[in-house]
Amino acid sequence: MTDWDHEADVVVLGSGGAGLTAALTAAVNGATVEVYEKAATVGGTTAVSGGIVWIPAHPRSADGELTAEDAMAYLRAQSLGYMDDELVETFVQSGAPMLDFLEGHSDLVFEVAAGFPDYKPELPGGKPGGGRSLHAGPFDLARLGEWRDRITSFPADFSNVGIDAETRARIHAAVDNESGDYCVAGTALIAGLLHSLLDRGITPHTEARAVELIADPLGITGVRIEQGDRDFRVRAHRGVVLGTGGFEWDQRLVEAYLRGPMRGAVSPPNNTGDGLRMAMAHGADLANMGEAWWVPIVQIPGDTFEGQPRSRSVRLERTRPRSIIVNRAGRRFLNEAGEYNSMAGPFHFLDPKLGYANDPAWIVFDSIHLK
């Protein structure tokens, strides 16, 4: 018999986009909710991300309704026959209602991201003119009161060259309102979700790490949390939501599961696969473990962040006119102007030297060489 220290209908672990959205959904549907976050700040990777949500079928595009049929064709064209149609259709059909739900129960407003095409626009059902990528509008941090400074953030120059003028314009990086303290992109998404939860009296517990799921013979009944020198058990009457992010900061899990080498992560260092390990301890089925959100990086000798070698994503500079990427043999081996996520493929498979023998690639700009 477990002694419980706290209880709630739904216990959410992690305060990224997944965790906070789950918490809001449960609360709107009448559940009591507790959110536990391992870091001192909320928002996880989501807060430092571009915050783009890809909703493939919705009626909000200036070009008219984006249909589920086109969306399914586009996703099928990328799946090489491995797609679970029912699961994918659920995702496709749920996107538009999800946007409506969040807008109806928070101050978030989603805008179609201008000039943001599908990543494989040439495929059947692809949208070269964009429309499926949306982002949260700017959010005034001053509205969060004491939580204003408690959203996870990175130094402004987290990429190699920062943000270009087009991106800046797209995400409203210069908001023309001097009385506010506006954030954009993933931070705005988290700020909007957080504001709505705080409004409902749900205050995330920070520096509170979930360490173990507790079960009885019928299933998971709660979770054990460590917070400072406290160790306590929280009963979940209706369920525990694992929103603890990825495992890219756990070298053993990276080597065991990812489909190729990963040299450095560009996310906050708290994603160590805790939820994954807790679920595995109770026999969870796993799938799609080899995939990730991939991006090429550079590491500059001596450049560190929070005591770790710092990885900077290479995003815009590689697509500039007269920029090419070559291997040590001086040969090009990928399309530099392609979207970042697919670039992991050539790194992993087409150039084994780059993937497996620890050889870096060279990015050759007009006159700058970066290793």
Residue 209 interacts with ligand FAD (CB under 6 A): yes or no: yes
| Least distance in angstroms from the C-beta of 39 to ligand FAD | 4
Task: Output the CA–CA distances (angstroms, integers) from residue 2 to 58, 214, 292, in the order listed.
Answer: 46, 9, 37
Q: Is 19 or 126 the residue whose CB approaches ligand FAD more closely?
A: 19
Query: Binding string, 283-322, against ligand FAD, x = CB under 6 A?
Result: ----------x-----------------------------
Separation between Cα atoms, residue 348 and residue 261, nearest integer Å: 7
Q: Among 34, 38, 102, 262, which residue interacts with ligand FAD (rule: CB under 6 A)?
A: 38
Q: Is 182 or 247 the residue whose CB approaches ligand FAD more closely?
A: 247
Residue 267 interacts with ligand FAD (CB under 6 A): yes or no: yes
Q: Among 118, 274, 336, 351, which residue interacts with ligand FAD (rule: CB under 6 A)?
A: 274
Check: CB of residue 6 under 8 Å from CB of residue 227. Answer: no
Q: Which residue is nearest to ligand FAD (CB)?
A: 16
Residue 160 interacts with ligand FAD (CB under 6 A): yes or no: no
Residue 241 interacts with ligand FAD (CB under 6 A): yes or no: no
| Least distance in angstroms from the C-beta of 90 to ligand FAD | 18
| Least distance in angstroms from the C-beta of 36 to ligand FAD | 5
Q: Is 278 or 363 the residue whose CB approaches ligand FAD more closely?
A: 278
Provide the 3-class DSSP secondary structure of residue 70: helix
The whole-angstrom distance between residue 17's C-alpha and the CA centroid of its chain comes to 7
Q: Bridge-partner residues for 7, per DSSP?
A: 235
Residue 25 interacts with ligand FAD (CB under 6 A): yes or no: no
Residue 37 interacts with ligand FAD (CB under 6 A): yes or no: yes
Separation between Cα atoms, residue 179 and residue 287, nearest integer Å: 48
Q: What is the layout of strands, in order, in the sheet containing 230-242?
A: 33-36, 6-13, 230-242, 219-227, 208-216
Q: Is 183 or 364 the residue whose CB approaches ligand FAD more closely?
A: 183
Check: CB of residue 328 under 8 Å from CB of residue 359. Answer: yes
Residue 204 interacts with ligand FAD (CB under 6 A): yes or no: no
Separation between Cα atoms, residue 353 and residue 336, nearest integer Å: 18
Q: What is the DSSP letter of 81?
A: T
Separation between Cα atoms, residue 361 and residue 307, nearest integer Å: 25
Q: Where are the alpha helices (DSSP H) in the chain?
A: 17-28, 44-48, 68-79, 85-105, 165-170, 185-199, 251-257, 274-280, 344-345, 352-356
Window 1-20: residues binding ligand FAD (CB under 6 A):
13-19
Contacts of 203 (CB under 8 A, 6+ apart): 35, 197
| Least distance in angstroms from the C-beta of 332 to ligand FAD | 25
The span of 78-86, 253-261, 268-276, 328-336 binding ligand FAD (CB under 6 A) equals 268-276
The span of 47-55, 58-66, 71-79, 231-239 binding ligand FAD (CB under 6 A) equals 47-55
Residue 269 interacts with ligand FAD (CB under 6 A): yes or no: no
Q: Among 11, 44, 118, 235, which residue interacts with ligand FAD (rule: CB under 6 A)?
A: 44
Residue 52 interacts with ligand FAD (CB under 6 A): yes or no: yes
DSSP string for residues in 123-183: STT--TT--SEEEEPPEEGGGGGGGTT-B----TT-BSS---HHHHHHTTSS-S-TTS-EE
Would you tell me which residues interact with ligand FAD (CB under 6 A)? 13-19, 36-39, 44-46, 48-52, 209-210, 243-245, 266-267, 270-271, 274, 293
